[in-house]
């Protein structure tokens, strides 16, 4: 898959693409990331890419002309029969979640537009943008951080990127966990600052460990993200034993159990 990133700050992506486990995806072009600076498509001595907004107000707005020329160059380079989706990272878009990441990770890629300043001229958005995505109800200085978040989330779902093929299936929100939160994890030493690793994890009994992890996932989700539990229940993903455990927690008024 290929992602073309339109950004005024391509240098922000250079270290991101070269570190961590996901670098395998970028180095091998399993996730092919190409950076495009709209300033390269601006005209005049100053290569201007923004101007003051009509109607007054603070800040600057990204000009449509350089963005359009940049987008046309990308489309020509991709040489696709059908134009790739154009994603704008924006506060008005739906929040990025696991189902959306899974959908993008299974597709051919997209063009990612990283806005800056007060945003992008609405006429360009109306004409070319096909999707808008938000990381949450807060405002960032630009779309580069959300773009990196999407690229990282998509890359780690690609086969062969993570050391353990099934590791991402145990992540929070994954369908393999019925959309619940992952359970707590422990490593050496067995006792740290008088806190011991839970006995179930030291038992060597696989079935017991699996039960403990499921119950911890249920308890943690009930305590921290109850809406995810409601969604799993509505989808029929909770077993009778799950419900019995949750009923016991509710009766005791307790959270995650060691």
Q: What is the C-alpha to C-alpha distance for residues 10 and 226, in angstroms, rounded to an integer?
A: 39
Choice among 65, 152, 171, 182 that is catalytic = 171
> Is 118 among the residues known to form the active site?
yes
165 part of a folded domain: no
Residue 175: active-site member: no
**pLDDT at residue 176, rounded to an integer:** 75
121 CB-near residues (< 8 Å, 6+ apart): 61, 62, 63, 64, 67
Active site includes 91? yes
The active-site residue, picked from 50, 64, 116, 156, is 156
The distance from CA 244 to its chain's CA centroid, rounded to whole angstroms, is 33
Count how many domains the chain has: 2
Based on the residue annotation, tell me whether 178 is a catalytic residue of this protein.
Answer: no
Active-site hit among 51, 91, 175, 224: 91
* Two tokens, residue 120: 């992008």
The confidence score (pLDDT) of residue 92 equals: 92
Q: Token pair of 136, please?
A: 């949450």
What residues form DSSP beta bridges with 33? 3
Closest of 86, 123, 82 to residue 104, by C-alpha: 86
Give the CATH number, domain containing residue 189. Answer: 1.10.1270.20
CATH number for the domain that contains residue 93? 3.40.1280.10
Same domain? 149 vs 178 = no
Pairing of strands 191-192, 195-196: antiparallel
Give a yes or no: residue 257 inside a domain.
no
Report pLDDT for 163. Answer: 57
Same domain, 99 and 123: yes
**Tens place of pLDDT per residue across the chain (258 aa):** 999 999 999 999 999 999 998 998 999 999 999 999 999 999 988 899 999 999 999 899 999 999 999 999 999 999 999 999 999 999 999 999 999 999 999 999 999 999 998 999 999 999 999 999 999 999 999 999 999 999 999 999 998 887 555 554 556 678 878 999 999 999 999 999 999 999 999 999 999 999 999 999 999 999 999 999 999 999 999 999 999 999 999 998 865 444
Task: Tell me if 160 is assigned to some domain.
Answer: no
Task: Print the domain residue range for 188.
Answer: 171-252
């Amino acid at each position: 898959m290929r992602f073309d990133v339109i950004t005024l700050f391509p240098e922000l992506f250079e270290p991101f693409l070269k570190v961590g486990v996901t670098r395998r995806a970028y180095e091998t072009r399993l996730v092919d990331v190409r950076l495009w600076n709209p300033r390269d498509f601006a005209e005049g001595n100053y290569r201007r890419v923004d101007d003051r907004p009509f109607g007054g107000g603070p800040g600057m707005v990204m000009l449509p002309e350089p963005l359009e020329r940049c987008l046309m160059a990308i489309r020509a380079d991709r040489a696709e029969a059908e134009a790739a989706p154009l994603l704008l990272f924006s506060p008005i878009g739906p929040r990025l979640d696991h189902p959306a990441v899974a959908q993008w990770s299974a597709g051919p890629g997209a063009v990612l537009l990283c806005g800056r300043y007060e945003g992008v001229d609405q006429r360009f958005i109306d004409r070319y943008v096909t999707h808008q995505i938000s990381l949450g109800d807060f405002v960032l200085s630009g779309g580069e951080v959300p773009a990196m978040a999407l690229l990282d989330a998509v890359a780690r779902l690609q086969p062969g990127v993570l050391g353990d093929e099934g590791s991402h299936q145990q992540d929070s929100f994954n369908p393999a966990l019925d959309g619940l939160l992952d359970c707590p994890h422990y490593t050496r030493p067995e006792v740290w600052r008088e806190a011991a690793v839970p006995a179930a994890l030291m038992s060597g009994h696989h079935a017991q460990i699996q039960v403990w992890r499921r119950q911890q996932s249920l308890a943690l989700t009930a305590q921290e993200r109850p809406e995810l539990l409601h969604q799993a229940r509505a989808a029929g993903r909770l077993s009778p034993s799950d419900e019995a455990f949750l009923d016991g927690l509710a009766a005791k008024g307790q959270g995650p159990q060691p």
